[in-house]
């Protein structure tokens, strides 16, 4: 018997045997866990969008104040010729 056949036989034996009793509050606990996960995911998504909007606003204010698209003035004067 190959290892695969042995594992398949064990799984079949588990499925054909008596099934264990399900705890009484399992469905309610699973539903509560799902609600907590959804609430947490929704809060993280809102936080992410808030941070993204704040970063975009900060970038817009910075760009409006510093004008990064303008070339900086030259600090060195052109060379003098003919002296």
- The domain in which residue 27 lies consists of 3-66
Eight-state DSSP code of residue 70? S
In order, the DSSP letters of 45-79 are: HHHHHHHHHHHHHHHHHHHHHH-TTSPPPPSSPPP
Task: Please report the pLDDT score of residue 53 as a whole number.
Answer: 98
Does residue 81 belong to any structural domain of this protein? no
Whole-prediction pTM: 0.60
CA dist 72 and 83 (Å) reads 29
* pLDDT mean values, one per 10 residues, the chain (83 residues): 86 87 93 98 98 98 92 77 75
Does residue 56 belong to any structural domain of this protein? yes
Domain count, the chain: 1
């Amino acid at each position: 018997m190959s290892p695969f056949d042995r594992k398949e036989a064990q799984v079949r034996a588990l499925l054909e045997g008596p099934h264990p009793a399900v705890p009484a509050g399992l469905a309610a606990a699973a539903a509560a866990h799902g609600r907590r996960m959804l609430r947490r995911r929704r809060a993280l998504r809102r936080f992410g969008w808030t941070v993204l909007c704040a970063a975009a606003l900060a970038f817009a204010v910075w760009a409006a104040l510093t004008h990064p698209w303008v070339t900086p003035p030259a600090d060195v004067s052109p060379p003098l010729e003919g002296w």
